[in-house]
């Protein structure tokens, strides 16, 4: 098992550019989520999905779009990048959504800089 994989590891964008952060998991997990990590603020939930075709907003969804066409993949799209989106982005997955005790598995992160 590769677990949760994220690409790219690093990315530099100019203000206004768009891009997609990729996330994939090979554990057949139902639940996937995107977080951003900023210094002194912990991790904040951007969007999440409870299964293929179902997504919902987290704490800080503005400026980001997601879709979930397959169980394995959960890409995060920045439509028009802004400097405030400079952050480290983590994708996570867990097996079931019905049980809130399930462990989340995190990817290695994507470090994004918007100039």
Partner 1 sequence: AQSVTQLGSHVSVSEGALVLLRCNYSSSVPPYLFWYVQYPNQGLQLLLKYTTGATLVKGINGFEAEFKKSETSFHLTKPSAHMSDAAEYFCAVRKATGGFKTIFGAGTRLFVKA
Shortest CB 76 distance to partner 1, Å:
15
| Dihedral pair phi/psi, residue 73, rounded to 5° | -115, 145
Closest CA to 25 of 93, 75, 100: 93
Considering the complex, state which of residue 28 and residue 42 has its C-beta at the smaller distance from partner 1.
42
Residues that bind partner 1 (CB under 8 A): 4, 31, 35, 40-45, 48, 50, 58, 90, 92, 94, 97, 100-104, 106-109
Shortest CB 69 distance to partner 1, Å:
21
- Residue 107 neighbours by CB under 8 Å, 6+ apart: 3, 4, 5, 6, 23, 90, 91, 92
Considering the complex, state which of residue 19 and residue 88 has its C-beta at the smaller distance from partner 1.
88
Considering the complex, state which of residue 44 and residue 77 has its C-beta at the smaller distance from partner 1.
44
Considering the complex, state which of residue 17 and residue 72 has its C-beta at the smaller distance from partner 1.
72
Token pair recorded at residue 8:
């790219």
What is the C-alpha to C-alpha distance for residues 92 and 3, in angstroms, rounded to an integer?
A: 10
Shortest CB 6 distance to partner 1, Å:
8
């Amino acid at each position: 098992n590769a677990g949760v994989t994220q690409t790219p590891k690093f990315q530099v964008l100019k203000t206004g550019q768009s891009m997609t952060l990729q996330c994939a998991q090979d554990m057949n997990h139902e639940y996937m989520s995107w977080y951003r990590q900023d210094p002194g603020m912990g991790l904040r939930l951007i969007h999440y999905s409870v299964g293929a075709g179902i997504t919902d907003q987290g704490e800080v969804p503005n400026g980001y779009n997601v879709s979930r066409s397959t169980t394995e993949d959960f890409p995060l799209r920045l439509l028009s990048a802004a400097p405030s989106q400079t952050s480290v982005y983590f994708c996570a997955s867990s097996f079931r959504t019905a049980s809130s005790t399930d462990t989340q598995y995190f990817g290695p992160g994507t470090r994004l800089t918007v100039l």
